Structure formats: C-alpha cells, structure tokens
Amino acid sequence: MKKILVPVIAAALLFPLSSYYLGIKAQESLETQHRVLSETFFIESASHEYQRGLFLSRETAVMRIKPSVLEGLKNTLPENLLNALDKPVTLSHRVRHYPFAAGFMPVRAVVDTELVFHPDTEKTLQRFFGSQTPLVLHNTVRLNGSGMLQFNIAAFDYEELSGIKLNWQGMNGTVDYNDDFSDYQTRFALPGFKVVLADKGSLNAENLSFSAHTVKQDNLPLSTGSSETSLSLLEVVWQDKIAYDIRINDLIGMISDLQVGAFINPYGDVPPGRIRVENFRYATRTDSPENGFIDSNGKFVFDKLHYGEETYGPLHIEVAAEHLDAAALSALKQRWQESVARYSDTDRQREQILAAVRNEGSGIFTRNPVFKLRQFSFATPQGHIKADGKVSFAGLAAEDLNHLPAMLKKMQAALNFDVSRSLIERFAIAQARVLFTIENPDDIEEQKEIDNTIRLLTEQTINHLVAEGFAIEDGNAVKTILTVGNNTITLNGKPFDTSSPDDDLYDESAGKEISDVSDTSSDTQEPLPENKPLDP
C-alpha cells in the first residue's frame, strides 16, 4: 500500500509545483512577446496587465496602430477604414500553464487569445463576418521558450444591393519562433479573394502564399533572412467607361519595386479593360553581416501577363547587391520607417528618403559596393530583352553622390545586352514622340509619318553601330557589351566617344533632325537634387 501511495503523493505535490513554475516561465515568455510587438515601428501598447494563477493565468494587452503611421496613410486608405484602424484592440489571453496543457507532449503554456474590438470596429466587422470570430489566435509555448503561433482569419461572402460583392476565402498561417523572437519563420496562405464592383469591374486573386525566415541582428535595427511570395493568378477587369492609365512597368513597380522601364509600355493604345498575371513569384535573401557588410539578392518572375489583347512573358529578373555597409543600411531603414510614419505625402516621403541616402545611407555607396544584374529576360509580342552584368564603385566619396561626372569616374560597369530590333524601334518611338509638335493631334496620318521617321532614324543608327563594330546583329536581335571604366565607355570592346556628335552617323538631313532632338532634350534635363539635410 505504501508503495502505491508514495508516487501518488509525489505526483500530487509535483503537479502544482511544476504548474506554478511553468506559470512564472510562461509570464516571462508572454512579456517578451509583448515587448517585441510593442517595439515595432507601427504598433504601440496602450496598457498591459498579467494576472497569474496556479494553473490558469490571464493576460490583457491593449494595442493600437501608432497615430503617426495612420497619418502617413491618410492619403492612401479610405476614411472609414482609417477610422476603424484608429481604434484600440484588446487582446485577452487565456494562459494554461500545466505540463500537459497541449496533450501528450509537455509544454510551458498554451495561450488562446480573444480579440475585443471597439464597438464601432465591431459593428463594421459584423457586416462581413456576421456571428463568426474574425481572427483566432492559438499560441503553444514550448518548454525552452520557443513556440508556434497559429492564426486563422475566417472566410466570408459579402454582398450589397448596389452590386458590390466580396468573396474572402479566409487566411491561415503560423509563426514558429525561438525564445526571444530573434529568429522566426512566418507562413501564411490565402486560397482566394474576389471583389466585384457592380458594373464597374472586378479583382480576382488566387492561391497567394508567403513564407519568410527572419533573423534579427545584434546592435542593428535590421533583420536578415529570406522570403518568398507566390500568386497563381491576379486579374483586374474594368469597364471601358472608367478612365484608367495603367502601364505595365507601373504595374510591375507596384508589385515588386522593380522599374523595368518603358520598353514594355504600349504607345498610342486605348487602355485595356483587363490585366491578368499568371504564376507570379517574388523571392529575396539577405545574408547576415560579415565584417560589417551584407549581401542581398532578389528574384522576380511571372509566366504570363495579359495586357488587353497582348500577352507578355515570361519575365525573369534576378538582381544582387554585395558588400553593402550594414550600419548605413540600418540607418537608411530607420529613416525610411520614420518617413513613412511621419509624412502622408508620398513626394515628401521620397524627398526624405533621398536625403537619407545622401546622409546616413551614403556608406552604402562609398564603401565599394557591387550591384549585379544576374539575369533579365523578358518576352514581349514585339520581341525580347535579355541583359546581365554588374556595376561597382571604388573610392566614391559622399560628396560625389551629388555630381554625376564624379560618380562615373569611380564607376566600373560591364553590361551585356541582347534586344530585338523591333523592340528598340518601339521604345524609340515611345520616347521620341514627345519631341515632335503635331498641329492636329487627332491626325492619324501625321502621327504615322512621325512614327515612320523615328523608325527610319533608329534603323539607321543600329545599322551604323553594327557597321562600325559597336554591336553585333544576330538574326532580328542586336547584341553588344557596354563597359564603363577609367573615364572610358566601350561598346562591344570599341571605345565610344560621346564628347561630340558624329556627323557621319546619318546623312545631312537626318543628322540635323537628331541634333535638334538632342538640343531639346538637354534643355529639359533637370539637375540632380542638392544634398539637403533631413528635417529634425
């Protein structure tokens, strides 16, 4: 009998003692998580309270988006959404901290969270989610303090009498973190989202997924790691009566911050009523600093882009930046966050960021960075563009950032180009059209004559470059290697003198026209912005 009682008594004593100890450790973990969340640049803590019990504890935290961040978004988001985001949210955590709170495997704690919204926000959410709980959070804290946070946003199908429809297919994800949140992996997936704006148009996104591995760096407000975003379909449709001016390079820029350029902009076309992107993927990787420097790279890919009646793609862009000064990069990131939080005007934000590049971020350029275009490959209905190469700077000083000639003297570049002739002509027409004055803009024949003139001059230029050995013609494509270094520019290995116009480039009449165009463009060229200090 005694042999049975001893382990029973021991277990009866150990269970509450272990639960009490785990309760202390669970509080430490949750307070760390609260601190990390409060230290983000867009969230602030209004209040925080922890009530610890023997087996069950309660934590209540009131969080809100910082007013400065909302001020910076006032020109971007609708007023009703801003009003909802301005309201605080109460996170009520139910903390179970006995050894087997999660089942067979012992854990430090299991935390289930209830979100309590402001009445105005609650009223808005009920229109979409009805009686469903909009967001469910479940956090399992392991014995060593690491854990897994699971979240789920409920699906809803919303419709108004006006014809507006929203079909949100829900979102679920996880955050797998270490004990101090200095290393964590994030994953989430959205099966689909569709918006129908009555008879005005629609938006449809399918199979959005995101994953990231984030590593915080000691003594730097900077995180490294990797991320990958994929989207199987994004389709935007609108009616012809709506005035839109969307260009393909703007669309790519909105998605990826990559400026592809005017090669893919149509000219003289009526804006299409449909854009469809298939199998979009965007990936980044930033390595941890070594000796104060960071390497980073990014990849941007899509299979097809349907733009009106034309189909573009595939597109593959892979870029890299190496030997970047980590301290300067951290300072630049900090200034960017401050700018976004402080200014609602995007022009003002851009001005502040450019100023930061020339000040705190100047070390990125003055400590011998290397920028690589590992691959640029893009297919269009008019032809292809392929390019690769690298640009580096050696001995660049901060004051050189305001003077292009000084930057060029300290720049080394080598870029390979392979471009279809038809695409070069299309680009030249799109760029040079603005330099010609048309008495009657609606005169189609006059516009065609100008296009043909530009096309002829472009063809003559290409033929001259090939004949002089500055480029190679390969079928319908033109290839060359551009190098810059030691105050010398070469094309295909031949020095290219840009100090004065080449009178032999065209015949007499063509040369005069190009000379006039050059004079016009140089008159309109804006000087580089001066180095201005940031606002305090």
Which range among 137-151, 422-436, 519-533 shows the weakest confidence by mean pLDDT? 519-533
Taking the CA atoms of residue 489, residue 492, residue 495 and residue 497 in that order, the dihedral angle to the nearest 10 degrees is: -70
The confidence score (pLDDT) of residue 331 equals: 83
pTM: 0.79
The confidence score (pLDDT) of residue 4 equals: 54
Note the helical H segments in 39-173: 67-72, 79-85, 119-129
| 19-30: average pLDDT | 88
Q: What does each C-alpha distance from 133 to 159, 190, 299, 510 come to in angstroms?
A: 19, 17, 37, 71
The confidence score (pLDDT) of residue 215 equals: 92
When comparing pLDDT for 499 and 302, which is higher?
302
Residue-wise pLDDT tens digits, 252-265: 444 444 434 444 44
Q: How confident is the model at residue 294 (pLDDT cuts 50, 70, 90)?
A: very high
Work out the mean pLDDT of the chain and round it to a whole number.
80
Residue-wise pLDDT tens digits, 142-193: 999 999 999 999 999 998 888 889 999 999 999 999 998 899 999 999 999 9
User: Percent helix, strand and coil across the chain, each rounded to 5?
Assistant: 35, 40, 30
Which range among 55-64, 308-317, 346-355 shows the weakest confidence by mean pLDDT? 346-355
Residue-wise pLDDT tens digits, 36-80: 888 777 788 888 999 988 889 999 999 988 887 777 667 666 677
Q: How confident is the model at residue 499 (pLDDT cuts 50, 70, 90)?
A: low
Distance CA 50, CA 63 (A): 15
Q: What does each C-alpha distance from 315 to 168, 379, 439, 463 come to in angstroms?
A: 29, 7, 39, 28
> How many residues make up the chain in this entry?
536
Q: How confident is the model at residue 225 (pLDDT cuts 50, 70, 90)?
A: very high
HSE-CB for 287 with a 13 A CA cutoff = 15
181: how many CB neighbours lie within 10 A of its CB? Answer: 20
Q: What does each C-alpha distance from 517 to 65, 286, 511, 522 come to in angstroms?
A: 52, 44, 10, 9
